[in-house]
Structures are given as structure tokens and as C-alpha cells.
Structure 1
Amino acid sequence: MNTQSWQVKATLLLVSSLTIMSMITISASLPDMTRSFTHIPNSEGLVKLSLSFPGLFIALSAIVAGIIIDRTGRLKLLGIALVLYAIGGTSGYWLKDLYGILAGRALLGISVGISMTIVTTLVADYYQGKSRQQFAGLQIAVMSLAGILFITLGGFLADIGWRVPFLLYFFSLLILPAAYLHLKEPKREREAS
């Protein structure tokens, strides 16, 4: 596999963009979302929590993901994480219950923690020295641009309805085929007995 190919780099960058997307995409929906759940006690606080809730689960799941991916491999778990991302992320569109939406946001955070850890590990597997530093710089730039794109799209879609920006989380399913086509499981070095 040629790790310098644009397909490999683009796929890693697309998966990386999911991290920033998980946090900001629905920010424009919060005012209307708050009005929809006024009948729930402390709805304003809970709706605000829905924006930051994934961050807690990213932190918790990333710790565990690092251990699991060394045992099970990277790509199998990446595929699962991308599917869970779509399920958890779009839950705000389908679910009518605020607590269900919060559970979906937690699932979104878990999937981001896993995918983020896998991408970081794959970058370390694929690139060394200067090429790793160059890729890290590119990764930061692309994530910043993705943040601008997703917050703009989220704002545009929130004008249609507060639930509509949640559909952007289906983006992870568009990345799934590229992940299996262009990323390869690194060979593991076996310990000498």
C-alpha cells in the first residue's frame, strides 16, 4: 500500500473531520430545540448539554479504544465506529425524547473517541519523521476548514428545521467505503517467544 497516495491521505483526513463535526454541527439548532422541549424540567440546561455531551464520552472511550485496537485491529473497529457515528449522530432527527437524544449524543461521543484514536494510530503506523509532521499540519488545517463548513451547513439546515442538521451525521457512512478501499491494516510485529 502506498501511504503517500492522495486516497489514503484524503480518507484519513475525512475521518479526522468527524471529530470537529461531532461538536459543532447542531449549535445553530439549540434555540429552536430549547423551545421544543420547554415542557421538560431544566430543558434549557439539558439542550445545552447535548452540544457538549459527546466530549465527555470522547474522553472516556478514547482511553479504552487505545487498548482495544491493539488487540482487534484498526479497520474492523473503524467500520463499527463509523456506523455508530451515523446512528448516534442522526438520533436527534428521529427521536422525540430529549433524554433519548442525549443517549444518542453519548453514542456519538463514543464513536468519535474510537475513530479519533484509530486515525491517530494509523497516522503513526503509516508515517514517520518529517512526513508525519507534514501530515499532522495538513490534518489541523483540514479539521479547521471542516469546522467552518459544518457549522455553516448546520446553520443553513437549522433554518429549515432544528432537527435537519442532525442528518449531516450520515456523512460518516459516505466515508466508510473509502476507509475499506484505501486504508490497510498495518502488519503487527510478533513478539519473540
Structure 2
Amino acid sequence: MNNLSKVGIFSLMLAASLTIMVGSAITPALIEISQHYGVEDMATWLTTLPALGVVLFAPLAGRLIDRLGSYVSLCIGLVLYGALGVSAIWLSGTIPVFADRILLGGATAIVMASSTGLLAEFFVGEERLKMIALQGMSIEAGGIIFLSIGGVLGGIGWQWPFMIYLIAWIALLFILIFVPFKKSMHLEESQETKASTSKTIFPVLLSALLAMTMFFIAFITLPFYLANNFGLGSETTGYFLAMISLIAVISASIMPKMVKRFSDYQTLLTGFSLFTLGFILLTLGQSFLIVAIIAGIVIGFGFGFTIPLANHMVVEKSNVSNRGRNLAYFSSFTFLGQFLSSLVEGISTNVVIIYIIAISIGILIILFYSMWLRKGNKRQTVQAH
């Protein structure tokens, strides 16, 4: 560890937690916000366009970090994040608003990459992995807190949820005070023998993309589903979505036990099965709020058994020389999944049709992983003989 206090660690975790809320902070008030901008038919793009921005600007963010270092880049990213996030209040017109959301995604790419890069400069070995794990928990916890706050602020007025983005400037202040500036240092472990190839890493990245797509299909359609079927407002919807994030944190904490008892791919299969079951419940239980709650819990467990595990698998399949690049790929694929969820959602205005499509995707993934595991078992049987 390199002279980073607990408050300094908290500062970096606060900055990292901003990544998950870039699209979801306004989700509880999405109906009111889309009505204000006159984009009711494209409402979900407001939450998913930042994900497209991450995918588009991730290469530029990497170049910025290589040139200026993680510390300076993080500070720049936080300034832009707060400014672009809150400025949407004063914009009008579809193109300016959508452009602002894409640029916000670019700022998020800088914050996401540089905050992890800065952690890597202060920690090595097992301590680094522990900090990255803590970062993942902080991101999920931030999702719970910011969603709840977004729901409360949305109940006051459509514009208030955008004020959450100013937390980036608070994080910037904490970093300037409690995180010491240092030039990039290459404190690496001894060279590892394991290496990754596109054949070993791509299936994991594809799993992350599909899992995030399914999760966000639920996330961006639930405000409309809950409002139309049960008359829930933005504040209650915020609590409902926060509940899903809380379940995701809980399931992520027990995911390692699942992997130890079964295997990584079997756990992924379980996660996608839970996603599929959740959409089936939402499709069949439109008249019963308790069924929707159960579906939310099931979908939360699906997230905890897929995205954190895929992140772990990327680390395990990487070595020192390519870990950063592979984790950058992981970030791009997860945010691309968020963006693709809007394309799926845009197929129909009927959420039931969207859920049927999600169920179909889930069944195809389940069949794929079932065949994958069966082939793997056959190969192990042949090698044993």
C-alpha cells in the first residue's frame, strides 16, 4: 500500500460509484423528464445514450490517461461529469439533449478508466484485487443510494434528479484533498505465466454484454410497467429499483460460494436462468404487485451471478501485461449492453412484447451454455481416460 488513507480510498470509491448512476440516476423520474423534453417515444434513450458515449469515447479516454496520467485525467473527468450532467436542465430540443447525454458518457469513460488506473498505482498484488472488489461493491451501493435519492428528487420536480451529477464535484474535492498526486508508477507483480487469447476472453465479454442487456431491459421498462399496471409514482419506483440493486449486492456476495460449489460457467447459466424467470413472472403477473416484487428479486440475483462473475473471470484469464486492456474491453461490453437494451426496447411500445423477446434471448443463452457445459464435461471425460 502506498500512503493512501482510508478517506483517500473512500474518495476513489465515491468517484467509481458515479459510473453506475450515469444513466440510472434519472430513471425513477424518466416519465416526467421525457414529457418535459417531448421525447416520450424515445424516453429510454435518455438513460442509455451515456452508455453509447462510454463505448465511443473509451479509446480517447485511454489516450488521455496515457498522456496526462490517471490523477489528472480523473480530475478532468469529474469536472466534465458534473458539468455535462447538470447542464441538461437548461437544454431544449432532442439533438442537444441527446448529444449532452452522449458526451456525459465520454466523461464517464474517463472517470471509469482513470479511477481504476489510480487504484492500480496505489496497490499491487492481492491488495489491488481487494480494492477492485471493494470498488465493485461501492458501485452497486452507489446505485442503491443514488436511485433512492433520484426517486425522492423526482417527486419534487423533473429537473431535480439532474442535481445528483454534482456529486462528481464533491468527489473531486475529496480527491484533491485526500489523494496524493503522484506520477504513474509501474508497481507490478512478477510476470505471470497465464495468458488470454480472444478465444478465451471473448465468451466472457459476450456474457457480460448479454447479461447487462437483459438487466437494463428490465431496468428501463419497469418505470412504465409499474406505472401502467399498479399506478406507482417516481418515488416508489425509485425504491423498487433500489431494491433490485440491493439484491444484486447480496447475490454478488454469495456468488463466490456458488462458483466454489459448482463452476463459473454453471453459475453464469444460473444467472441467465434467473433473468429469464424474472421476465416470465413480469409477463404473467401483470395484475399482482407481489409477483412484480418477486420478479425484481429474481432479476437482482441474476445480475449478481453474472456481471461480477464475468468481471472476475476477465481478471483470472488475464496477465499483468494485458489485464488493463481486457478490463477496458469489459467496461465497453457492459456499457454496450446497456445501449443495446434501448434497441430492444424500441422494437415495441408494448412492454409485454419486449419481455417475450427478453425471454427468447434468455432461452437461447441457456441452451448455448448447456451445450457448452456438456461439451466441456465430455472433453474432461475423454482426457480422464
TM-score (normalised: structure 2): 0.46
Are 2:186 and 1:185 aligned? no
Q: Which residue of 1 aligns with 2:72?
A: 76
Q: What displacement does 1:9 show?
A: 0.8
Contact 2:89/2:159 (<8 A) preserved? yes
Q: Which residue of 2 aligns with 1:22?
A: 22
Work out the CA distance in 2 between the residues paired with 1:116 and 1:187.
17
Work out the CA distance in 1 between the residues paired with 2:64 and 2:33.
36
Contact 1:11/1:179 (<8 A) preserved? yes
Q: What displacement does 1:187 show?
A: 4.2
Work out the CA distance in 1 between the residues paired with 2:134 and 2:185.
27
Secondary structure at 2:43 match in 1:
helix
Q: Which residue of 2 aligns with 1:172?
A: 168
Contact 1:29/1:163 (<8 A) preserved? no
Cα displacement string for residues 14-68 of structure 1 (whole angstroms, at most 9, x for unaligned residues):
1101101212100012111232244xxxx22432211100001112222221122
Give aligned-pair identity as a percent: 32
Q: What displacement does 1:118 show?
A: 0.3
Q: Which residue of 2 aligns with 1:51?
A: 47
Q: Which amino acid aligns with 2:133?
A: G
Larger Rg: 2
RMSD: 1.7
Contact 1:91/1:101 (<8 A) preserved? no
Work out the CA distance in 2 between the residues paired with 1:117 and 1:102.
23
- Aligned pairs for 1:1-193 within 5 A: 2-3=3-4, 5-38=5-38, 43-183=39-179, 184-188=181-185
Q: What displacement does 1:70 show?
A: 1.4
Secondary structure at 1:159 match in 2:
helix
Contact 2:121/2:184 (<8 A) preserved? no
Q: Give 5+ residue unaligned stretches, structure 2.
A: 187-385
Contact 2:54/2:106 (<8 A) preserved? yes
Secondary structure at 2:156 match in 1:
coil
Larger mean Cα displacement after TM superposition, 160-169 or 91-100: 91-100
Q: Which amino acid aligns with 1:103?
A: A
Q: Which amino acid aligns with 1:50?
A: L
Contact 1:30/1:47 (<8 A) preserved? yes
Q: What displacement does 1:188 show?
A: 4.6
Work out the CA distance in 1 between the residues paired with 2:104 and 2:74.
13
Secondary structure at 1:81 match in 2:
helix
Contact 1:28/1:154 (<8 A) preserved? yes
Q: Which amino acid aligns with 2:162?
A: F
Secondary structure at 1:2 match in 2:
coil
CA separation of 1:188/1:128 partners in 2, compared to 1, >3 Å: closer, same or farther?
A: closer
Q: What displacement does 1:2 show?
A: 0.6
Contact 2:50/2:104 (<8 A) preserved? yes
Q: Which amino acid aligns with 1:35?
A: Q
Q: Which amino acid aligns with 1:99?
A: I
Contact 2:116/2:132 (<8 A) preserved? no
TM-score (normalised: structure 1): 0.88
Work out the CA distance in 1 between the residues paired with 2:12 and 2:125.
18
Q: Give 5+ residue unaligned stretches, structure 1.
A: none
Q: Which amino acid aligns with 1:119?
A: S
Q: Which amino acid aligns with 1:117?
A: A
Bigger relative contact order, structure 1 or 2, given CA contacts below 8 A and separation 6+?
Answer: 1
